[in-house]
Structure 1
Amino acid sequence: MKTTSRRSFIRTSFFSGLTLFFSRNLVRAKSIINKITDPFKPNYDSLRQYECPAWFRDAKFGIFLHYGLNTVPGMNGHYGRFMYLQKKDPQFPHWAEWGKDVYQYHLDTYGHPSEFGYKDFVPLWKADKFDAEKLGAYFKSIGARYVVPVAVHSDNFDNWNSKHHRWNAKNMGPKIDFIGEWKKACDKLGLRFGVSEHMSTHIERWFHGTTDLEGPKAGIPYDTVNPDYEDFYVRRDPKNRNKVHAGFRQNWYNRMKDLLDSYEPDLFYFDGSFPYKDTGEGINIVTHFYNSNMERNNGKNEAVMCIKTHGNKEIEGTCVDDIERGQSDKLREIPWQTDTTINQGWFYLGKTDTVVTKVGEEAAMKGSKDKKLLDGPMVIQNLCDIVSKNGNLLLNVGQRADGSIPDLFKKDLDVIGQWLKINGEAIYETRPWKIYGEGPTIVTAGHFKEPSKPFVAEDIRFTTKGNFLYAMAMGIPKKPVEIKALGKNSKLLGKQIAKIELLGNAQKINWEFTAQALVIDVPKKIKSKHAVAFKITLS
């Protein structure tokens, strides 16, 4: 009896202590349980459990911000890559296409790469007009629902208070934790917050040059081979400069985990596919992103991982597929995203307000190179096409080195915002219909194939929400709109039409069925520009 009582006492004491421990350490206890039962494992079969969260499917429109050290010279988005290539190198087939002018520009403006290297732009970056809250409020006012600043580009300079890399914007240069500022601003403004990483798939092609190959300074080493800076320019395999040293992958992993754990983004973007597939650092980071997000959200996954799958069936369904400057030619079952840019080049390419010459003087910039790749109307039409096919649009805007956005880009952002104020009901919180649309304009699928010529009013795109079907005419109609998919002979509709309205217009809309089409009369005065949205109430 004494032994039994003692065992009972021990058992009771143990469970009482365990209960007390969990009650006092509830958060830690939940963390321990989650660690034991992490739903995602670092393999593709496990990651295919992933389901895109509703917030992303509702948001539809976000802002991408390429901002970093590249912006200081403001001449080429891959400046740090091409300034060290004096002439064409067979290992870099894009030199003549993208970067042939960079070396000479650098030589004329700043000096020889052995005297003024890419690292020397760091103290020139002031960011004295950077204001994340002000910019975030502006982006929200034009209809953006999420903001994704670049955390680290291919140049290996971190835009946050990095624990594992001294070359970061909080420690050097502007002395600003840009990612931390954006996190605070987005939380305050009710915007979803994301970050992007561009280094893992590109770093081996950067800082590759070591010396001039010809001319009076041939053989004089660039600063890329100075051991004092090898943590920035990335130490190379001594037998092959095309490969970085073995420890870099672990450093990358540590930095990405620090980024995720310190700032808790809702969205994470890889500029490429899963990095380091052979050794697993990439898939481990994605797995950690999903599991840690669920841990914070009581078991609900709110994480969005954007990866360029390039049609790879092995990773399809593990993430949100991202198409760079391109679209889909069909309605996709799994949500996806287009990322594109309103300005030429992803970074601001108009130079800074002043440029620093090779002797250290400041000279007024002669003329602006501000140029647009897409205008507001084209972005609006592409947005309608993308959303109708179950996608989102992440639109990049280049910031000047001081942190501001040129008025040239703001004018088109304002155009997008004005359109969304009228027609946003047909975009936000919608889902694709049975078909994405109809019309004469053909969209070619794939990266770097985005439409650059306007759609026409005969191009119709559909979205749906509850009992409403939205039909967007991708231009301003000059005659009644005929929608063949909704004609009497079509079996797609399936319900009766109770009412048709034109968003932004109070006038009564007349319409009729024919065997071939639903024909909708268009008011003489239309408030919306560039595209119109009909709201069809179904009964």
Structure 2
Amino acid sequence: MKNSITKPIKNLPTLMARLSIPVMKKLNLFLSIFFLLLSIPGKAQETKYQPSWTSLRQHHTPQWLMDAKFGIYCHWGIQTISYQKGKENLSNDELIKQFKGEKFDADLWANLFETAGAKFAGVIGWHGSDFKHWDSGLSDYNSAKMGPKIDIIGEVFKAVRKRGMKTLVSYHSIKNDDWIDFAKEGVDKYEPDIFWVDASFGGTKGAHGEKTVSRSKYIGQAKSTTQAFQEKYQRELIAYFYNKAIERNKEVEFVYKSNDIPPSVGMRDLENGILPETAYDVWMTDMDMNVPPDFSTHGWFYREGIPLRSANSLVDMLVDVVSKNGIFLLNIPPMADGSFPEEVTNNLTQMSKWLRQNGEAIYGTSPWFIYGEGPNDIAAGNHIFHHNNHFAQIAYDKADIRFTSKGNDLYATVLGKPEGNLTIRALNTAFKLREGGITRIIHLASGKQVAFDHNDKALELKLNNVELDEMANVFRIELR
């Protein structure tokens, strides 16, 4: 049999002439479509946000933030000076003169953040006065031109980014409508990955759940001329922030207090607060390392003599928050000179050791069907879970267990050191897991495989040969 492919083609010129007309038509059609596509606005223009809640609701929380779970920021500024004994009544101008930051080193800060296990980090940009913490072109009343002569945001961001971490800036002081100009300047100049605004952005953290809203619910006991920040400016700023991120091909998040803006526009934050149940939208808590004895000594800045949360407490809160679909943002207080107290670095070092051994149960995880089990409940606190842990009221112990999941693995974290065997009632064979559904269980810190019994009453782990941690203990339950 002859190979037809090698057979000569007869009348080739005639054949080419016949083909030329449809080929040219196809070519012309292709070129027409190509140039039409060039005339259509690009993706960034198509997805541009309008300053309306309907448009802004199209935003989605970035996956990197949902995976990060843990971040750190710092309250540092002239208020740190005002909390020193005998300096409580100094004017802002005098405080600025004394705010020198002579031991400030952004690289040391960023190294501490990274070592602790944080995946994003930053610093307050504006808090409590008109004094800004960046090199502003709109006002000379800032830390780059006065006081320490340091562009605090700029230096911290540069050091944080050098380590491959995401950045956060927080704005707390809203006194006039021109606040939006300073906020936009921060977005333009520093390109934060997370823009976090305090309660003064909306002032509504105490207003939800009420049939009527009194003025004091929004803006406290301020003068009658004081107004809450205008809604149109809220929408304008958030749209500006999101659109700038599109231009820069960045995925960012806007974080706000409780009910300051409508749902699904950004990420809700609870100040020193923890939810009692799993939330179906990712949320954040900003938790202060300080544990003040009362509200009069509460301030987020360093204050000599105020106790700090222990590493054990920080780990327990991190695990609890993550199990409920939350992000844990920790405030650590630098001293006035820009250095950190030894207790702060010691606590973060202990926390980092725990995360190195057990981080797979935190980073990149998802919540499970239920957050956990145990006897200790979360109190509502004031402002609906805001401030319910201002004074370390929330107590955890070895009977409290929290769940997270990743891939085909379920993580059970015991918030303490179990005594004897560990019984997990929620993981019985009558609920979500069935007999034979577990292939093996590993204690993460020691790497040891754990023997177990699994029945319709509970999952029981045999721990007699396992070296347990004094802090939280994590067990990876590998499922079929």
**Normalising to structure 1: TM-score of the pair?**
0.71
Work out the CA distance in 1 between the residues paired with 2:80 and 2:434. 51
Please say if 1:435 is aligned against 2:336: no
Please say if 1:448 is aligned against 2:448: no
Q: CA RMSD in A?
A: 2.6
Q: 1:134 to 1:294 in 2, by over 3 A?
A: same
Which amino acid letter does the alignment assign opposite residue 175 of structure 1?
K
Of 402, 409, 431, which residue of structure 2 is paired with 1:490? Answer: 431
Q: Which has the higher contact order (CA 8 A, sep 6+)?
A: 1
Name 1:164's counterpart in structure 2. Answer: 138
Q: Percent identity?
A: 33
> Larger radius of gyration, structure 1 or 2?
2
Q: 1:175 to 1:485 in 2, by over 3 A?
A: same
- On the 8 A contact 2:112/2:345 being kept in 1, the answer is no
Deviations 1:249-279 (A, max 9, x none): 1x21111101001100000111127445535
Which amino acid letter does the alignment assign opposite residue 476 of structure 1?
K
Name 1:183's counterpart in structure 2. Answer: 157
Name 1:42's counterpart in structure 2. Answer: 51
Work out the CA distance in 2 between the residues paired with 1:470 and 1:161. 45
- On the 8 A contact 1:342/1:373 being kept in 2, the answer is yes
The number of aligned residues is 410
Name 1:321's counterpart in structure 2. Answer: 268
Deviations 1:451-501 (A, max 9, x none): 535312221110000011000111100021111111122235698111100
Work out the CA distance in 2 between the residues paired with 1:529 and 1:39. 51
Alignment of 1:281-430 (within 5 A): 281-297=233-249, 302-310=251-259, 315-343=262-290, 344=292, 345-350=298-303, 369-430=304-365
Alignment of 1:458-473 (within 5 A): 458-473=399-414
Work out the CA distance in 2 between the residues paired with 1:380 and 1:165. 41
Deviations 1:185-243 (A, max 9, x none): 1110111101000001xx4xxxxxxxxxxxxxxxxxxxxxxxxxxxxxxxxxxxxxxxx
Please say if 1:537 is aligned against 2:478: yes
Of 506, 515, 518, which residue of structure 1 is paired with 2:456? Answer: 515
Deviation at 1:408, TM superposition (A): 1.7
**Normalising to structure 2: TM-score of the pair?**
0.80
Q: 1:512 to 1:527 in 2, by over 3 A?
A: closer
Of 171, 176, 185, which residue of structure 2 is paired with 1:258? Answer: 185
Q: 1:525 to 1:372 in 2, by over 3 A?
A: farther
- On the 8 A contact 1:323/1:337 being kept in 2, the answer is yes
Work out the CA distance in 2 between the residues paired with 1:132 and 1:161. 16
Deviation at 1:56, TM superposition (A): 0.7
- On the 8 A contact 2:196/2:256 being kept in 1, the answer is yes
Please say if 1:130 is aligned against 2:104: yes
Runs in 1 of length 4+ with deviation above 6 angstroms?
A: none
Work out the CA distance in 1 between the residues paired with 2:331 and 2:80. 14
Listed as ranges, the gaps of 5+ residues in structure 2 are 1-30, 203-227, 293-297
Please say if 1:60 is aligned against 2:69: yes
Deviations 1:375-397 (A, max 9, x none): 21111111111000000111101
Look up the SS of the partner of 2:124 in the other structure.
strand
Which amino acid letter does the alignment assign opposite residue 284 of structure 2?
Q
Work out the CA distance in 2 between the residues paired with 1:521 and 1:494. 17
Work out the CA distance in 1 between the residues paired with 2:398 and 2:465. 15
- On the 8 A contact 1:347/1:399 being kept in 2, the answer is no
Look up the SS of the partner of 2:155 in the other structure.
helix
Q: 1:467 to 1:34 in 2, by over 3 A?
A: closer
- On the 8 A contact 1:378/1:453 being kept in 2, the answer is no
